[in-house]
Structure formats: structure tokens, C-alpha cells
Structure 1
Amino acid sequence: MSDLLNKAIEATVNAGKAIMEIYRSGDFGVEIKGDNSPLTLADKAAHNIIVEALTSTQIPILSEEGKHDSYESRKDWNKLWVVDPIDGTKEFIKKTGEFTVNIALVEDNYPVSGVVFVPAKGELYYGSLEEGAFKVILSGNWENENCSSFRNQEKVKLPSRANNVSLQVMASVSHLSKETEEFVDLLKNEYGSIDFLSVGSSLKICKVAEGVADIYPRLGPTMEWDTAAGQAVAEAAGARFINWKSELRFDYNRSNLLNDWFVVYGSKIKDETLKVLIDQFKKG
């Protein structure tokens, strides 16, 4: 495992420890940000832990809860960390357990490695284009263990499941759009039997990486920090992550940090078939 990926894993797990302490306390200190999204004490604590851990790498950090440098400042960054201290803050507040800590390393505008940690479940997803993608289930006592012990725990290479009988379509619990429903209808016409799956946060992307889901169309707004780590894991597992408009690989550190629509899909979906379905959708 590369030193940078290892550092990202340790940062996510340590952030997860602080998050779970606040999660159990029930004192979330909820604020509403300018974009009308919630911010909690856990978001702030996780951000501070991650930034402190990654600053030593001397690689710039783009975090949801940090200062967002102008594109004029960012455009010459050939390498950066993209961080979401808690993806799924609404899920955190509702105590569903379906929230994640996300760190991605982006080089030349594309994610090359990433970590997605689900602290309430002790599930750790990580991957790099060089080494592949993996999932680790941490021990029930993980919050009291040193991060170095996680390296010795059993890991499962992703995708760990394939050949679903019916098409498994992933959707957002909190953000199911009318457009997504219309695209799912096209998938039904093409594949016949489908199952509709729902989980929160970047877990949706990880479920495609894992092979539990075959496709995740996100026809609604997200930000760069919502997707970068998940994309790194998914692509390391052999899945595809494309921009809905251009049908090209999703890129990062753009002038506009608001993402276009995207689709993540595994081997059951052929590139040519997806292109036809997207074209059908665009034509109405």
C-alpha cells in the first residue's frame, strides 16, 4: 500500500472515532449553512483531524468544510486531496448509520486512490488504480485500536459479488429525482427484471464497486467532494464512472465544483448499451 493511501486510511479512521463519539452523545450542535445543508460538530471535528493528518504531505486540500480556493489558485494544482469529512450529514442526524468519511487523491484532474469509511458499521473501502479495490470489516472494538492493526485484518478484493440475477439499480435515499425514475424505466425496458436499492451517502458508489449494485445513475446535484473518493474505489474495482453529458470519465478540480449528472456502472452494463439508453433519455 502506498504511503499516501495509508495516510488517508489512518485519517479517515481517526476522523471516524471522533464522529462516533459525537454520534453516541446525541449532542450534534446542528447549524444550517448558506446552501441550506446541515453542519454538525462531527463535521467540524472530522475536518480538523483530516486536515491535520494530510497537511504533512504538502499536497493541497479541498474539503467541503474548509476554505475553497479560487479556480485561479487551484488550476495549477496537478495533485490535491478532495475531502468530505461526513458525506450524508442528514443520515448522521437521523442516526441511520449510512454516512461516510471520504478522502481521495486526485492527480491531473482524476482520482487515483481513495478511501470511504462507514464508521457506524466499521466498514472500510479503499482502492487505487495500481493496487485494485478492497473492503475491510473492522473489529467491533475498532475505536479502541491503533490504526496500524487494521493492516493485518482480512480484506476482500472488489468486486466481491457479480452476476446478479436481476439488474440491481442503486438510488439515493434522500435525493430521488423524477429524471432518475424516468431513466430507470428505460433500464426496465432494456433489462426486464430489476431491483431498486437504496442506501445513503457515497455508500451507493461503493455498492457498485462491490458488485452488490450494477448501476447507480445520479441525475441530480452533487459536489466534487461527494464523489471523488467513491470514484477512486469504483474505478479501482473495475467499474466505470462517467459524466452524463460528455459520456467521458468524470474529472475534478474544475472551475465549477458542482458536478454534472453521472452514472457509475459495473461489468453487467455494456458501454454501448448505456450510450443508447442515455441517448434515448436525452431525446425524450
Structure 2
Amino acid sequence: MTKLLDLAISAGATILAIYADTIDVSRKGDGSPVTEADTRAEAIILKGLAEIAPDIPVVAEEAVAAGRIPAPSARFFLVDPLDGTREFISRNGEFTVNIGLIDNGAPVAGVVYAPALGEIFWGTAGEGAFGAHVVDGRIRRQTGMASCKAAPKHLRAVASRSHMSEETRAFIERLGVRDFASAGSSLKFCKIAAGLADIYPRFGRTMEWDTAAADAVLRAAGGMVVTVNGAPLVYGKRDQAADSAFANPYFIAAGDREFLSSIRDQLH
């Protein structure tokens, strides 16, 4: 994990150098924005993973957009070099570097680094989840094991800052959420893992590289991510009849697994 943390921090340093300068934005085939920070950070991560784990294939956002997709494998990395490109462009700081490891459809390890905020989170199945501050490129003041809490009577929800949908709003209202906050990128999962929020509903489009690393952190902290059918969110989805490869269905992330079971009837 130490090497993955160093790799995420290295990619983050490149992103911050561009963040401090002029940000040139172009558009991918699907109309989503992409910047030099996305491509340069991904190149750093791909090079590093090839050295760290040369036998494990990598599915990376910008590589997939360019048509470079590895053959299916039970064990593979999912990489989003800059999750929250819109947050990066608007300079609100809520963007992240994401490296997740998948094993037989489940996220088993992940690193989420928010370079502009100086925050990093990581988790490994069976070993727990952690958070720390990054100062001058080094991990400082480790906050210790992230902790999911049992869902309280008055729920605290977090949802997308840039991609809020009416379905998400309606779901939050049905649950009677008292406290609501918006946040960018994969930080929403990390807020739950750290016990700062209880639930994150996402009734909008996401891709596997958007969620894998933070999903791994949340699961390592004791939480869970399920689809609207109540099944765990799985990874490595190819040849989907209703959507493109690696696209996620709608999902709900929560720190309390029993709570997710209790609201199953409201997920549909």
C-alpha cells in the first residue's frame, strides 16, 4: 500500500502544478471535460503501476477513452487520475486521484488523494481504512482508522455537487434526511468512511473508475455500496446490454450495512 500512496501523491503533485497555472479544457467523445492534468497524472500512475505490479492489468479512464482496454482479468486496477474534473476546473479543491484494486468483482484496496485539500484516504480489505494529511508530499498526522458509525435517527446525507439529480433529491426526502451536504468527486465515500456522513445516494451515471478506490476505502471501514436491488456494487462489468462497459448502475453508499438492509424497500 505504501507504494500506491506514494504514486497517488506523485500524480497529485503534477495535478497541483497545472492547477496553479492556466487550465486548458478540451472535450472527450462523450462531451465530458478533460485537461492536461488528467492525462499527465494518468501517465504517472500507469508507469508506476507497471513497475509495482507488472502482472496486474490496469483499466484507466483516459486510456479507455482512447480505446486502450486490457483483456478481462479477475484481478485488475481501476484508475481515475482526476476524479472531479469539473471541481478542478472551477478550482474548489474537491477533486481526487483514485487507484483501486479489484479482485473477483470486489474492491479490495484503494487510495483516494485530494491534493488541493492535503487529505489522503486508503483502505484494504481485512486491514481497515485510514486517513491522513499530506504536507510537502509526505503523509503527516495520520488520523488513524476511519470509522463508520451506526446510522442515527436523523441521517446526514452527502451527494454530488456537480451531478445532483431529481431522483436523488426525492430519495433523500423520503428518508427524512435532516442534514445534507454536497461534495465533489469520490470524497463523498470518504466522508462516510470517516463517520462524517451516513449515506450517499447516487441516482445518476458513474463509471467504475469513479467509485472503485473510494468504495474500497468505505468497505474497509465497515460500510457498503449497494445497487437499488440491494446487491453489492460489482466491478469489471463488460458487455452490458443496457449500457457501456464499466458503467455503474444507480447505487447507495452507507456506513451502516444493517441500515441499508432496513431501507431496501425504498431503494426501488
Same fold (TM over 0.5): yes
SS at match of 1:156: strand
SS at match of 1:74: coil
SS at match of 1:31: strand
Q: Is the 8 A contact 2:161 2:183 kept in 1?
A: yes
Q: Is the 8 A contact 2:227 2:249 kept in 1?
A: yes
SS at match of 1:232: helix
1:268–1:104 CA distance, 2 compared to 1 (3 A) = closer
Q: How does 1:28-107 map to 2 (within 5 A)?
A: 28-56=23-51, 57-58=53-54, 59-67=56-64, 68-69=67-68, 74-75=71-72, 77-107=73-103
Unaligned runs of 5+ in 2: 239-244
Aligned mate of 1:126, from 118, 122, 125:
122
Percent of pairs identical after alignment? Answer: 39
Q: How far is 1:69 from its partner?
A: 4.9
**In structure 2, what is the equivalent of residue 146 of structure 1?**
none
Q: How far is 1:215 from its partner?
A: 0.3
**In structure 2, what is the equivalent of residue 187 of structure 1?**
175
SS at match of 2:121: strand
Number of residue pairs aligned between Structure 1 and Structure 2: 258
Q: Deviations over 1:204-252 (max 9, x none)?
A: 11111111110000001000100000100000000111122x3111111
Q: Is the 8 A contact 1:125 1:134 kept in 2?
A: yes
Aligned mate of 2:256, from 264, 267, 270:
267
1:168 aligns with 2:156: yes
1:181–1:208 CA distance, 2 compared to 1 (3 A) = same
TM-score if structure 2 supplies the norm length? 0.91
TM-score if structure 1 supplies the norm length? 0.86
1:249 aligns with 2:246: no
Aligned mate of 1:158, from 117, 129, 146:
146
1:231 aligns with 2:215: yes
Give the whole-Å Cα distance in 2 for the aligned partners of 1:162 and 1:137. Answer: 25
1:277–1:99 CA distance, 2 compared to 1 (3 A) = same
**In structure 1, what is the equivalent of residue 242 of structure 2?**
none
Q: Is the 8 A contact 1:92 1:98 kept in 2?
A: yes
The RMSD of aligned alpha carbons is 1.8
Q: Deviations over 1:168-209 (max 9, x none)?
A: 011111111111111112101xxxx51111110101111111
Q: How far is 1:153 from its partner?
A: 4.3
Give the whole-Å Cα distance in 1 for the aligned partners of 2:260 and 2:157. Answer: 16
Q: Which has the larger radius of gyration?
A: 1
